[in-house]
């Protein structure tokens, strides 16, 4: 029941602003993923959804640099089902590291990351697509190659997400991406992950939606102008990105139009735990309380 202060004079309940919480690259760190979700008010100590109608957005890079990737993917998938049943949502985006794994690029996979998928999928040892790979790579390749079981799980995720006046993407969004089509990028990526098409060329290169750092690494006036044009094309107010670590915490850049939320929260980087909260027109930062142990 809402407290009395939440009701108007005529006894009706005013509409509460939509609550959206976003956090960035978790890179195989299950503990920090759970802590971010708890900071957001999404889960309890047993990892059960308590967020009611809360919308959670994870902006990509669940994979690489850590050992708990499978558990992270499965936790977020389960919470998506629980959240939907409660009137909320969990949106997990694709980052460059997810797409690298589907493309067979394992340069950032840890030994524990390879071991994590042993026994997770069945495959034919004589499969011509796998037999030439290093033995350690074969299970991961079978799991993440287009059409593989974990690629199919990734196919449920999007590259670009628009919620009301907020746009979420891993790296950055440019006018040419909007012209190409947000839904087209998502659909073509989904088809590739399912093994039903080629990898979209627009995902490649340093200015792709999952690789761009235009707005999050010392953006200049030209970058701010490009972002303003991009948002205007979408009728949006703000862009939220991960991908580029902000050593001093979540940053609001490009004339206030972009929120850069990758703070290096995964143990690989050792950054602080911060998440972004959007409530209607209000944007704020939630920070995990730091416990100081007396000496």
**pLDDT by residue (tens digit) across 42-94?**
999 999 999 999 999 999 999 999 999 999 999 999 999 999 999 999 999 99
Global pTM? 0.92
Question: Is residue 8 predicted with pLDDT exceeding 50?
Answer: no
91 is known as an active-site residue:
no
Q: One of 27, 97, 174, 177 is an active-site residue; which one? A: 97
Strand residue runs (E) in the chain: 19-23, 55-58, 89-92, 160-163, 166-169, 238-241, 251-253, 258-260, 274-279, 282-287
Mean pLDDT estimate for the chain:
93
Give the model's confidence band at 244: pLDDT under 50 very low, under 70 low, under 90 confident, else very high. Answer: very high
Check residue 87 and give its pLDDT: 98
Nearest to 254 by CA among 272, 241, 245, 273: 241
Nearest to 169 by CA among 232, 108, 240: 240
CA dihedral over 119, 121, 127, 131, signed as positive or negative? negative
Dihedrals phi, psi of 234, to nearest 5 degrees: -95, -10
Give the model's confidence band at 228: pLDDT under 50 very low, under 70 low, under 90 confident, else very high. Answer: very high
Give the model's confidence band at 11: pLDDT under 50 very low, under 70 low, under 90 confident, else very high. Answer: very low
**Model confidence pLDDT, tens digit, residues 196-225:** 999 999 999 999 999 999 999 999 999 999
17-39: average pLDDT: 97
CATH of 16-287, one of 3.60.21.10, 3.20.10.10, 3.40.50.1820, 3.30.450.20: 3.60.21.10
Check residue 290 and give its pLDDT: 53
């Amino acid at each position: 029941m809402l407290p009395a202060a939440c009701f108007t004079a005529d006894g009706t309940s005013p509409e509460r602003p939509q609550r959206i919480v976003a956090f960035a690259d978790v890179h195989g760190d299950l503990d920090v993923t759970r802590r971010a979700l708890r900071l957001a008010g999404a889960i309890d100590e047993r990892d059960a959804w308590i967020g009611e109608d809360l919308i959670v957005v994870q902006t990509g890079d669940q994979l690489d640099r850590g050992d708990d990737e499978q558990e992270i993917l499965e936790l977020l998938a389960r919470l998506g089902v629980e959240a939907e049943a409660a009137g909320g949502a969990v949106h997990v985006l694709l980052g460059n590291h997810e797409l690298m794994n589907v493309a067979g690029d394992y340069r950032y996979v840890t030994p524990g990351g390879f071991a994590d998928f042993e026994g997770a999928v069945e495959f034919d040892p004589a499969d011509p697509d796998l037999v030439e790979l290093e033995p350690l790579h074969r299970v991961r390749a079978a799991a993440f190659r287009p059409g593989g079981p974990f690629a199919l799980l990734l196919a449920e995720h999007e590259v670009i997400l628009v919620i009301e006046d907020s746009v979420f993407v891993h790296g950055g969004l440019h006018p040419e991406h909007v012209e190409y089509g947000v839904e087209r990028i998502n659909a073509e990526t989904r088809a590739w992950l399912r093994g039903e098409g080629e990898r979209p060329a627009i995902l490649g290169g340093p200015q792709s939606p999952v690789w761009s750092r235009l707005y999050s690494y010392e953006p200049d006036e030209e970058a701010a102008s490009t972002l303003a044009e991009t948002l205007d094309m979408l009728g949006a107010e703000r862009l939220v990105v991960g991908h580029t670590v902000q050593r001093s915490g979540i940053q609001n850049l490009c004339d206030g139009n972009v929120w850069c939320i990758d703070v290096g929260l995964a143990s690989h980087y050792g950054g602080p735990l911060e998440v972004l909260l959007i409530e209607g027109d209000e944007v704020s930062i939630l920070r995990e309380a730091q416990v100081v142990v007396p000496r």
